[in-house]
Amino acid sequence: MNIKALLSLRRGRPSLPQPPEPPAAAPALSAGGARVTAPPKMADNLPTEFDVVVVGTGLPESIIAAACARSGQRVLHVDSRNYYGGNWASFSFSGLLSWIKENQQKTDLSDECEDWRKLILEDEEAIPLSSKDKTIHHIEDFCFGDQDSAEGVEEAGALPKLPVFGAPAAQRVSPGSEETPAAERVSPGLEKENPTVESPGEEPQTPEPEQAPGTEPARAAPGAEAGAAPGSGAAPSTASGESAPEPAKTEAAPSESAAQEPKKITYSQIVREGRRFNIDLVSKLLYSRGLLIDLLIKSNVSRYAEFKNATRVLAFREGKVEQVPCSRADVFNSRQLTMVEKRMLMKFLTFCLDYEQHPKEYQDYESSTFAQFLQTRKLTPSLQHFILHSIAMVSETESSTLQGLQATRKFLQCLGRYGNTPFLFPLYGQGEIPQCFCRLCAVFGGIYCLRHAVRCLVLDRASGRCKAIVDHFGQRISANYFIVEDSYLSESTCTNVCYRQISRAVLITDRSVLNTDSEQQVSILTVPPLEVGRAAVCVIELCSSTMTCMKDTYLVHLTCPSTKTAREDLEPIVQKLFNLNTEKETENEELEKPRVLWAVYFNMRDSSGVEKSSYAGLPSNVYVCSAPDSALGNDCAVKQAETIFREMFPAEEFCPPSLNPGDIIYDEDEIEPEESGLNNSPETKPESSAEESSSGDGAAVAKEE
């Protein structure tokens, strides 16, 4: 074991030239995409020869990078963005605002310099890559007016209908001046952080608040749809607001005045506490027996992350949110089910666990939908609803009996591994997971360059294979295999590809959709389609202990396959579940619902399931990874990564457990700690120990089932 590991590690460690000098002081790292940093002037000693070049740091690319480095390949992993994860990324609040702004500015750099074409030799051909991400559309963000709007003018409580929108506009005499003192700058920021409507000429929108009961402030919409308004760049962005020091009184004053509602969170608090947010662009959960969990454990990448159990599965039925009892314990403890229902449900769920053993029970319904099958099973309507929408999570009109049974069984099989629901959520957000695989890759010698754009793939005419990339420095980097994320491919490569879209909404709210004794709940709720032909909407509500939002707020993700724009698809659901009014206009029944403090809608391109043959002119040693799909789990990405890896290296194992290179470097004289078989009890002696020893981890993996 040790020897083998040693060997594989030896191979895994590329011999890098020691940089003669430390890299020049360059402006720091990514993280959250809060800043857009100019690319470093020069890549210091970036090697020009690799085995595998991976372009894009989304989940499948990162898994492949890790797998390749792990099997001894020399890997270069680049991303043109200044953050990890591509469309799998998560952002702090200010980072998300910058991301929104960036994606609203649809200015394509057509004046692009094509100098790199000179570098292509005669027996070569260039396949240009896209320089602009075109996967995000219809972004609309909203800040829901709250008392904060007046904080800038220091009016605690007593500001009923002051021209909230006019006031800051009037204040902002010099919108371009970044030198505005922080306290003043905050007020335009809070009032409306969407820069697209901040062009000074838009005062006519001022009367909006009076005429908009029952809908969100419509003011943001036109601006957002029209794209970047002139001058928006000059307006003080909230990104700067986050770090801007604010007078502490702005927080204290309104919360005192609004004493009847405790812990009222204001927009400025969200901005100030912005780094407590880790807002995922995709909203997914990990099935506790899904492929991703298995891979995390198998590869030991799991040691880089921590998780929270989803604590509740919810249903939305007859206008009400209720908890779905799904585990045996839940069913027995449920107060909402009658004894008869409990028995029915248990009987049905038990049947689903091994339905294949009882073909007679469902044979006659194989051609019907699962919903029709459920109707024959002596289940009350509420139970049918729970099973169809919250447990199987399949379509009422389209999913067959077998699909429903399979989905139900998958759900049930995942119960109990880590808790009472089948799902886990990574602390700090889904965006951590690609980074964890990248770290594994780096530990095994993979080289990482963010903000590193690739101009083109270089095709060797004779062999028909790709032999190199040309990067934004005009540097040619050669390799045997190339992994490229779909969004990096140019329009001409993708002309024949038919993409689907995902509709997404992210809300920051002030309380849970279902209040119980504990505030710290992670809930998943499936809202059945409101009209035929639409898809069900998956709602995931995260609490602050998931480290994705600030205290006393909830982060709510809504996801469905698109039929229209994200806002058209999701806003009806948001209106049913949440209160979008400013409190002055709030009616009593709305008070029951969580209040939305801030929201964003966007459509994201779903490139999953595209056949490689649909891409025009890609050589056989170029592999394409998909952006996230709309499914709840991550199986699609893991499958794709494994498939691509196996195509490239059929003889290699996919992500075997990794040892700590630290164990191995000093092999001659430091073998003992490894062989002493320390498992889980390093407590025995306060001595140095090599973490994650092979023996310990191997045992854990073997033990899992």
Site for other proteins contains 528 (CB under 8 A): no
Nearer to other proteins, 191 or 471 (CB): 471
Site for other proteins contains 244 (CB under 8 A): no
Nearer to other proteins, 286 or 558 (CB): 286
DSSP string, 267-327: HHHHHHTGGG--EESS---EETTSHHHHHHHHHTGGGG--EEE--EEEEEETTEEEEPP-S
Number of residues that bind other proteins (CB under 8 A): 88
* 480 burial type by CB count under 10 A (0-12 exposed, 13-18 middle, 19+ buried): middle
| Shortest spacing between CB 248 and other proteins, in angstroms | 17
| Shortest spacing between CB 432 and other proteins, in angstroms | 5
Nearer to other proteins, 63 or 574 (CB): 63
Interface residue with other proteins among 7, 27, 233, 332 (CB under 8 A) is 27
List of residues 6+ apart from 11 with CB closer than 8 A: 72
Nearer to other proteins, 30 or 399 (CB): 30
Using the CB atoms, write b or e for 245-261: b if 16+ within 10 Å. ebeeebbebbbeebeee
Q: Which of 641, 135, 695, 702 is nearest to 437 (CA)?
A: 641
- Using CB under 8 A as the binding rule, the residues of this chain from 75 to 104 that contact other proteins are 84
Nearer to other proteins, 122 or 669 (CB): 669
Site stretch for other proteins (CB under 8 A), options 127-135, 146-154, 294-302, 638-646: 294-302
Nearer to other proteins, 174 or 688 (CB): 688
Residue 358-397 contact track with other proteins, rule CB under 8 A, x = bound: ----------------------------------------
Site stretch for other proteins (CB under 8 A), options 456-464, 478-486, 592-600, 660-668: 660-668
Q: Is 26 within 8 Å of 40 (Cβ atoms)?
A: yes
Interface residue with other proteins among 18, 260, 588, 613 (CB under 8 A) is 18
Phi, psi of 577 (to 5 degrees): -95, -25
| Shortest spacing between CB 684 and other proteins, in angstroms | 10
Residue for token pair 């209106």:
575
| Shortest spacing between CB 328 and other proteins, in angstroms | 10
Site for other proteins contains 474 (CB under 8 A): no
Residue 29-58 contact track with other proteins, rule CB under 8 A, x = bound: xxxx-x-----x--xx-x------------
Using the CB atoms, write b or e for 209-223: b if 16+ within 10 Å. beebeeebbebbbeb
**Which one-letter amino acid corresponds to residue 62?**
S
Site for other proteins contains 553 (CB under 8 A): no
Nearer to other proteins, 16 or 162 (CB): 16
Q: What angle do CA 476, 75, 61 make, to 5 degrees?
A: 105
Site for other proteins contains 309 (CB under 8 A): yes
Site for other proteins contains 260 (CB under 8 A): no
Interface residue with other proteins among 87, 238, 300, 406 (CB under 8 A) is 300
Instruction: Write the secondary structure of 175-212 as one string of H (helix), E (strand) and C (coil).
Output: CCCCCCCHHHHHHHHHHCCCHHHCCHHHHHHCCHHHHC
Site for other proteins contains 418 (CB under 8 A): yes
Site for other proteins contains 346 (CB under 8 A): no
Q: Is 576 within 8 Å of 308 (Cβ atoms)?
A: no
| Shortest spacing between CB 450 and other proteins, in angstroms | 4
Interface residue with other proteins among 496, 666, 675, 676 (CB under 8 A) is 666
Site for other proteins contains 176 (CB under 8 A): no
| Shortest spacing between CB 149 and other proteins, in angstroms | 28
DSSP element (H, E) containing 457: strand 454-460
Name the DSSP letter for residue 248: T
Site for other proteins contains 416 (CB under 8 A): yes
β-bridge mates for residue 492, sequence order:
none
Q: Is 459 within 8 Å of 466 (Cβ atoms)?
A: yes
